[in-house]
Amino acid sequence: MTSEPETARERAVHQLEHAADLVDIDPTILQRLKHPQRSHKVTMPLKRDSGEVEMLEGYRVQHDDVRGPYKGGLRYSSHVTEEECTGLGMWMTFKCAVADVPFGGAKGGVAVDPHGLSDAEHERLTRRFTKSIRRYIGVNFDIPAPDMGTGARTMSWMMDTYSVYEDETVRGIVTGKSPDVGGVHGREESPGVGASIVAQRALEHLDREVEDATVAVQGFGSVGANAARHLDDAGASVVAVSDAEGGVYDPDGLPTHEIPSYEEEPGAVTSYSADTISNEELLTLDVDVLVPAAIGGVLTADNADDVQAELVVEGANGPTTGEADDILYERDVDVVPDILANAGGVTASYFEWLHGRNQRKWPKDKVMEELEKEMNSSWDDVVTKKDELEDVSWRDASYAVALERLAIAYSERGMWP
């Protein structure tokens, strides 16, 4: 009998419980953090270009706001469920706490195949979904952002729809918009660039030169392509990249800037070269650094023993199952967790949110400079905690940093029973 795969919520709760044993945290706060504060489910009609009307389900799960307004992406994917949004929302709470940005955690999305949407359908769906959840979001309450299947265009449509209902332009209602309508320059690159910065700091920690490192990246999308290109620019040799169709491999290194990313041309990675590999093969290649940057649950008990990388940097949210995490830790593979590795996205979102409030905008080099500073500072905090706790994983050390910050906020504000 095969058991059901672990859900994102189960994985997040398991990680939380594991790390909670390492820190002195009030059990009531721990209980609070195991549950979302609010969960909204909506159903909405989508009129297809053919004229047919389809009913779709959407969600916005608000996990915790003790450190600031709820913050987190919106995903368009056939796999979106309330359970998945709950796990992803929990990770947002911990990510914002590790990054020390004044936000809580939320996640949402619509259960729909984004590849099956024309541009006009994508716009109609986004405007209808915004109308459905507009009472549950707010500039000081819950600020959505892009995630898988959504992007700057989606966020600009959301901002416009929300503004129409408010009768004024409300730039701060979402982040990840186009820079032409209040988005921050570099937001698109920020999670991938942040993952690359953290990967470089981790290599340094292992006494390895980035110029000598080989890298494989699963998912050549917003996070993966930008991480691969930034690591390539830093001198690493990116030998394999993939998308949902499969991957390409060149032991001498791939020209990452020439291979079209998901946004530039969806599904085009495998057409770049004849030397193709499967996504499963990519995960177990003999490389120094593996960056899973596509979907959750790809490193499992079935393949964790075959991972040859010395360092795994989680570009995606939740790519490593609990069982795989234990196996990799036993095998001395360093796994830099999602809540630290891909926090560059929410950090740049924070800059954008501040700009929306102050009606100002930084040039891109200033955004990148500040992003680097923030990523380095989060990395340093986690290293300090890891040294203090001794013999713990990067994930546990990152959670410990987050839990202590959340516990302080709860004890300062008090929990109102």
Residues in contact with ligand NAD by the rule CB under 6 A: 146-149, 191, 218-224, 242-244, 262, 279, 293-295, 315-317, 342, 345
- By Cβ distance, which residue is nearest to ligand NAD? 221
Max Cα-Cα span within the chain: 62
- Give the integer Cα–Cα distance in Å for 8 and 25: 23
Query: Of 62 and 347, which has the nearer Cβ to ligand NAD?
Result: 347
Residue with tokens 């988005």: 183
Crossing angle of the two packed helices 82-99 and 8-20, in degrees rounded to 10:
40
Query: Of 214 and 279, which has the nearer Cβ to ligand NAD?
Result: 279
Query: Of 293 and 407, which has the nearer Cβ to ligand NAD?
Result: 293
- Give the integer Cα–Cα distance in Å for 254 and 281: 17
Residue 402 contacts residue 90 (beta carbons within 8 Å): no
Residue 41 annotated among the catalytic residues of the structure: no
CB count in 10 Å sphere of residue 41: 14
Minimum distance, C-beta of residue 293 to ligand NAD, in the bound complex (Å): 6
Minimum distance, C-beta of residue 385 to ligand NAD, in the bound complex (Å): 22
Residue with tokens 């909670």: 20
DSSP string, 51-63: S-EEEEEEEEEEE
Catalytic residue among 41, 71, 95, 107: 107
- Give the integer Cα–Cα distance in Å for 174 and 183: 9
Minimum distance, C-beta of residue 279 to ligand NAD, in the bound complex (Å): 5
Per DSSP, the three-state class of 170 is coil
To which H or E segment does residue 14 belong?
Answer: helix 8-20
Query: Of 139 and 295, which has the nearer Cβ to ligand NAD?
Result: 295
Query: Of 25 and 159, which has the nearer Cβ to ligand NAD?
Result: 159
- Give the integer Cα–Cα distance in Å for 17 and 393: 14
Query: Of 280 and 404, which has the nearer Cβ to ligand NAD?
Result: 280
Which two three-digit tokens encode residue 392?
A: 């713990």
DSSP letter assigned to residue 180: G
Residue 71 contacts residue 142 (beta carbons within 8 Å): yes
User: The dihedral of CA 36, 37, 40, 41: what is its sign?
Assistant: positive
Minimum distance, C-beta of residue 248 to ligand NAD, in the bound complex (Å): 12
Minimum distance, C-beta of residue 95 to ligand NAD, in the bound complex (Å): 8
Count of alpha carbons within 13 angstroms of residue 337, beta-carbon side: 32
Minimum distance, C-beta of residue 216 to ligand NAD, in the bound complex (Å): 12
Query: Of 25 and 185, which has the nearer Cβ to ligand NAD?
Result: 185
Minimum distance, C-beta of residue 4 to ligand NAD, in the bound complex (Å): 19
Catalytic residues: 107
